[in-house]
Amino acid sequence: MGPEAGSGLNFGLRMADGVIECGCDEAGRGSAAAEVYVAAVILDPGRPIEGLADSKLLTAARREELAGEIKLKALGWCIEKASLQEVEKLNVLHATLLAFERSVRGLKIKPGRVLIDGDKAPKMPGMQVLSIIKGDRLVPAISAASILAKVARDEAMVDYHRMYPGYGFDVHKGYLTKEHLQALSRLGPCPIHRKTYRPVGRLIESQSESGKLF
């Protein structure tokens, strides 16, 4: 599946030091189910967006409102994902880094500097790549990316809830809450659970040893 992307007019691109910057963030890396979503955003200095913040600090309604504004006002944005197969094969960190690179390459405007939330970042030849701890709270472009990634993944998890009712994916979004663990114990893992995620793997192993088949 190709990237979901949009871009604005080619004006107002230059930052103070003459470098085009984009911000990147992910959603779902710590989840026990489904894909990791990532986003890259180039904000327009001439069209500021009020209220940008770490997506986890915003209500769902406010995230959705801001996501629409970001897509409308940003000079460029791209939403990508790391598939479940990539997460299980490469591990969640490396799959996420791969998706970060996809999202940046998917921008219709090429940035010279890439700012990524966290302490790990992929190498992207021809671009300066910087990892920023708590970047989603400190850098507006990263905040914008965190909002786009979170909204896109939450929408996907609501769809998965319809496909696999009983787990509560529409509520916990795949994270291992008490209710999710209870559902896993009762129903067993479904096709979107990350089998390599330790709590899920342990459950599969213990149920296999007991002879219980899901």
126-168 tens-digit pLDDT: 999 999 999 999 999 999 999 999 999 999 999 999 999 999 9
β-partners of residue 36 are: 82
Least confident of 37-41, 156-160, 179-183: 179-183
Write the pLDDT tens digit of every residue in 1-10: 445 655 433 3
Q: How confident is the model at residue 74 (pLDDT cuts 50, 70, 90)?
A: very high
- So what's the pLDDT on residue 5? 57
Task: Report CA-CA distances (Å) from 63 to 56, 90, 152, 193.
Answer: 9, 30, 10, 26
Write the pLDDT tens digit of every residue in 192-203: 999 999 889 888
pLDDT at 209 over 70: no
- So what's the pLDDT on residue 111? 96
In order of their start, the domains of the chain are 4-160 (3.30.420.10), 164-206 (no CATH)
Task: Report CA-CA distances (Å) from 16 to 21, 30, 105.
Answer: 10, 35, 23
Angle between helices 140-163 and 60-73 (to 10 degrees): 120
